[in-house]
A = this chain, B = another copy of it.
Amino acid sequence: MDLDNLISDLQQRLPLRRFEHVLRVTETARALAAMHGVPADKAETAALFHDIAKSMSADGLQRLLTDRGTGPELFKFNKELWHAPAGALIAEEEYGITDRDILNAIRFHTTGRAAMSDLEMVVYVADMIEPGREFPGVEELRRHAEGPLSGVMEACIVHSVQHLVSKRVPVHPDSIECYNYFVQ
């Protein structure tokens, strides 16, 4: 995988602010990977791809996902969730990524899921705490990132689910399974 080409493509596909976010997530993912013994190239690849479908229209996302067998359940949830599995499809089909762990790290970077791999946690956490993120509680999550990977992942999913329900937003089953996995 030629990452320079991918970076050029991302610059075309994404608005500047989103592109810069992707670069910051990639840097953060590399740092977390180094801390936790995750291969840096896998973390970098997954992080670069994670938002590749973020600028697609709702219609385009729904068509792509439905074509590839996604059931109707997902579309009852916020459109914010659709770009993650779509990004995994694009990485696989347009860029020939075959590493299942990388594809899953892209696919589950928004919802999380139960029993995530280290690479999946690295990308999920990096997306949430990259230095451009500003939300109440992000500093505490960054402090958690100095400890074990599962500890910061737990803090991130608990924060996410608490935020969603405080706003009465639907919670995807994968997210509640991820939350239950950690708090159980």
Whether A132 sits at the interface, judged by CB under 8 Å, is no
**Alpha-carbon distance between A170 and B173 when the two chains are bound, in angstroms:** 13
- In the bound complex, do residue B166 and residue A162 qualify as a contact, i.e. CB atoms below 8 Å apart? yes
- In the bound complex, do residue A176 and residue B183 qualify as a contact, i.e. CB atoms below 8 Å apart? no
Chain A contact residues, CB within 8 Å of chain B: 76-77, 158, 161-162, 165-166, 168-171, 173, 176-177, 179-180, 183-184
Q: How far is the CB of A181 from chain B (nearest CB, A)?
A: 9
Closest B residue to A166 by beta carbon equals B162
Count of this chain's copies in the oligomeric assembly: 2
Q: A171 — which chain B residues lie within 8 A by C-beta?
A: 176, 179-180
**Neighbour of A173 across the interface among B76, B165, B176, CB < 8 A:** B176
**Alpha-carbon distance between A11 and B44 when the two chains are bound, in angstroms:** 64
**Alpha-carbon distance between A183 and B176 when the two chains are bound, in angstroms:** 15
Q: A170 — which chain B residues lie within 8 A by C-beta?
A: 179-180, 183-184
Closest B residue to A180 by beta carbon equals B170
**Neighbour of A165 across the interface among B76, B77, B179, CB < 8 A:** B179
Closest B residue to A183 by beta carbon equals B168
Q: A168 — which chain B residues lie within 8 A by C-beta?
A: 158, 183
Q: How far is the CB of A139 from chain B (nearest CB, A)?
A: 20
- Most B C-beta atoms less than 10 A away, residue of A161, A165, A168: A165
**Alpha-carbon distance between A76 and B162 when the two chains are bound, in angstroms:** 21
